[in-house]
A and B are shown apart, each in its own frame.
Chain A
Amino acid sequence: MPTVTIDGQKVRIKKGLTVLDAAKKAGIWIPTLCYHPAVASEASCRLCMVELDRGDWRQLITACNYPVRQDIVVYVSSERAEKARRGVMELLLARAPESRELAALACRMGVEKTHYPSVTESQRNCILCGLCVSVCEQVIGRAAIGFAGRGAERTVAAPFRQASEDCIGCGACAAVCPVGTIKIRLHKDEREIEISPFKSRAKMVLCERCGMPMYSGQVSREAMSKVKIGRKAFTEYLRLCPKCRRTETAERFASVPVRRE
């Protein structure tokens, strides 16, 4: 097992794991945005820059995808690494000035404001980290959204910027979005779930008891197709909303005569 020395602290990790993994083990915080353990690291946001000691020179690397193959020495809190992360964060703040999530992360990094004006905006408050795209393709297996265009024009979009037929309305993209740009909107009257800003909509399953819309019908079908054991119990589980399930369980208990000795 190679040893990673981070800011002087030594940790040993499995070969092939990343510098970020090592830092986590050492309890050292490195800010990340486009990193998520569920998907492959693209290292697109460049926020997790740290310095790698190469002997006669030092190289800035991204912690989230730099594979540890032998003993290495890295610096997270060196002046150059901190300056690099601040610089990247300032550029991101200029792009997504209204994101509260981003501002909170910047604050934690000690970056209070950006020196840059807002000069690019292909999609409001989106930092193009790509987590939503990765999760949709790699985890959900739908690839309903993807990148469109290039350079400053790059955006995340469903094909032809129309509501995607491949979207099942699971909301995984919204769940992983680190800046709160992707949102789930419920249209109760139409019994539909909408993933914003992609305009994709899915019909919702209603609670059998109270009629409250619960989740996307396609999601439950996808989920059902993956359940191998306990299928019956799972079907039962999907039938009611949490509130009604509690009520029903309570009623079931109430109907059972209490045994008295």
Chain B
Amino acid sequence: MSEEIELTGQIVKHYGSDKGMLIPMMQDLQAECGYLPIGHLRCLAERLDVPLSRLYSVATFYSSFRLAPKGAHDVTLCMGTVCYLKGSPMILEAISREFNVEAGGTTADRLFSLQAVNCVGACALAPVMVVDGKYYDGVTPQSAIEIIQAFPCEEETAEPSAKEGAK
């Protein structure tokens, strides 16, 4: 509870309590927690004197917000026009089938969260997949699966949870 108060307090202070900065505040909160926990949102609403329904509305309107914890890794697949024309729907289908995860969801073992986004603006590299901030170009259904399958071995050595905590 005190953590909620402290964190939201810091964030609100950083933006000078400006209600117009609600979206950046929520982004910062998500960057800290990995998602938007209900308790933190309640705290934020109280501090800013903004109705909770407004925060919920914002959190569900913008596609970058999530209300549930995400996986250890972020897999973002670009569905922009060029990537689409070059086969990104097939890649999405392949990942979904292989790992039993829907776009916008997280695998049961919390290994990764899968996102299908509009366009990452790297059309010359199409089809593009972004994994934890690293861009992969010219991805195929097969190579996408291979990239993701490389996760678990990496995890044994690198401990992604520690990485996240340091963020």
Q: Quick check: A159 and B52 within 8 Å, CB to CB? A: yes
B2 within 8 A of A: no
A143 within 8 A of B: yes
Q: Quick check: A146 and B38 within 8 Å, CB to CB? A: no
B57 within 8 A of A: yes
B60 within 8 A of A: yes
Q: Quick check: A166 and B53 within 8 Å, CB to CB? A: yes
Please give the distance in Å from A183's CB to the nearest CB on chain B. Answer: 20
If A160-B38, A160-B56 touch, whether A146 touches B61 (CB-CB below 8 Å) is no
Q: How many residues of B contact A (CB 8 A)?
A: 11
**A-B contact count, CB below 8 Å?**
38
Interface residue ranges of A219-258 to B (CB < 8 Å) = none
CA distance A125 to B108 in the complex (A): 34
Q: Quick check: B53 and A143 within 8 Å, CB to CB? A: yes
Q: Is the interface of A mostly helix, strand, loop or mixed?
A: loop
Q: How many residues of A contact B (CB 8 A)?
A: 16
A149 within 8 A of B: yes
Residues of chain B lying within 8 A (CB to CB) of residue A259 = none
Residues of chain B lying within 8 A (CB to CB) of residue A157 = 56
CA distance A122 to B1 in the complex (A): 34
B55 within 8 A of A: yes
Residues of chain A lying within 8 A (CB to CB) of residue B38 = 160
B54 within 8 A of A: yes
Residues of chain B lying within 8 A (CB to CB) of residue A3 = none
Q: Quick check: B61 and A150 within 8 Å, CB to CB? A: yes
Q: Quick check: A159 and B56 within 8 Å, CB to CB? A: yes
Residues of chain B lying within 8 A (CB to CB) of residue A49 = none
Q: Mark B58-82, 1 if CB is under 8 A from A, else 0.
A: 0011000001000000000000000
Please give the distance in Å from A257's CB to the nearest CB on chain B. Answer: 57
Q: Quick check: A148 and B57 within 8 Å, CB to CB? A: yes
Q: Mark A109-147, 1 if CB is under 8 A from B, else 0.
A: 000000000000000000000000000010000111111
CA distance A159 to B51 in the complex (A): 10
Query: Which residue on A lies nearest to B42, using beta carbons?
Result: A159
CA distance A143 to B56 in the complex (A): 11
List residues of chain B with CB under 8 Å of any chain A CB.
38, 51-57, 60-61, 67
8 nearest A-B pairs in the assembled complex, by CB-CB distance: A146-B53, A143-B51, A159-B56, A146-B57, A148-B60, A159-B52, A149-B60, A143-B53
| Sample of 12 further A-B pairs with CB below 8 A, known A145-B53, A157-B56, A160-B56 | A142-B51, A143-B52, A144-B51, A144-B53, A146-B54, A147-B61, A149-B61, A159-B53, A159-B55, A164-B52, A164-B53, A166-B51
